[in-house]
Amino acid sequence: MALLVPNIGELESLRYLINNNNHVLDREDNAPRDLILKLYSSDTTPAEGDVPSATAYYEPYANGNTNGYGSASSTGYPLAVNNRTEARYDYTAQYGILLNGARWKINQDSSANVVTTATYPEQTFTFTSAAGNIYGYYIVRANDMPVSVHGVVDAASGAAAATINKGSSGSPCIGVIGQDYITLPNTASIMDNVTLGMQVSAATTSAIAASGVFVGGIDRATRRIYLCDSSNVAVLLTDNIQAATDPTINLNYTVVTTSAAHSLQAGDVIYVARGSSNTTTTENTYTIFSTPSGTTFETTPALDGTGNLTLYSSIMFAERFTNGPYPIQNNGDQIKVTLNISLD
């Protein structure tokens, strides 16, 4: 039978989606990011399979309904202003209007089939010069990728990171034939650099297949990593992993390097697309897991493949204007948006 979400579940789900609880003290590190409202000037009608690209959902940085990524806006389309309560996060390099999660108002109607709706106060985009036709708007999780990286084709690249080794003869990993998990040794910080999607292999035995086995689950309290294949089906060990035979496992993944400072932080959500000549990376939404430097980052789930990449903000909601497109032709022209997001 299908999972039922009761009305109170709808309420809490919507609060999480829009980060309506962002004002709760000491919750900042565990909360999702606030949202950024963006306009798009591509002739795009939102559909289930949509992803950001060079031809869809590009913003009105320039006049003429062209993709202007890589250059600062010349139309007055605004950079975000930090109006949020989590002041230690900076999103002023992103274009659009940053929405404060604590300003959403949520109501449930009194109909038999209750609809839960969040409404945000009207937001106004005021342009300083012509920007062409505006076809609609979309909403993304906030991040601070600068104009030199965001949406710029091949502004990033993926390469195999240094293999992470876990376990030794003195502090072995333990895995039992027929089980779908491996227990890492009880040493300090052993789990800190482990995340979902990393490829797993045994160092010296065939207990784990040579390829196609990944970290599918993590229990940090018990130091267990659970194994799965690329379809998220559990993978069972074909031999024991122990001090006497093979105490070490290897973890492999892809690290991303950007051509300019990325300004991303752990917890940010982005969309990673293949760049030119890249046929191996899985295009999808990823969360930043760590940032070893200002021009490198790692993701969760761990990224795969190698080659050039293009990075975007990941689309959460999108709507084409019913009576649009609206032409922006003069200094002072405006687009006003009142947001209503419903769960039913």
Compute the Cα dihedral for 249, 217, 192, 282 and give only its sign: positive
**Cα radius of gyration rounded to whole Å, the chain:** 23
For 17, the enclosing helix (H) or strand (E) is helix 7-18
Q: How far is CA 279 from the centre of its chain?
A: 21
Compute the Cα dihedral for 43, 46, 47, 52 and give only its sign: positive
For 143, the enclosing helix (H) or strand (E) is none
- Count Cβ atoms below 10 Å from residue 279 Cβ, excluding itself: 7
Can you tell me which residue has the tokens 């003290």?
Answer: 25
Round to whole Å and give the CA distance between 105 and 39. Answer: 22
Round to whole Å and give the CA distance between 135 and 139. Answer: 14
Can you tell me which residue has the tokens 């109006």?
Answer: 83
The ranges of the chain with pLDDT < 50 are none
* pTM flag (> 0.85): yes
DSSP assignment letter at 28: G
User: Which residue, 17, 58, 14, 42, is CA-closest to 321?
Assistant: 42
- Three-state DSSP state, 141: strand
**Could you tell me which residues are beta bridge partners of residue 202?**
249
DSSP assignment letter at 101: G
Tokens for 206? Answer: 């065939």
Per-residue pLDDT, 23: 62
Q: C-alpha angle with apex 74: 73 to 79, nearest 5 degrees?
A: 35
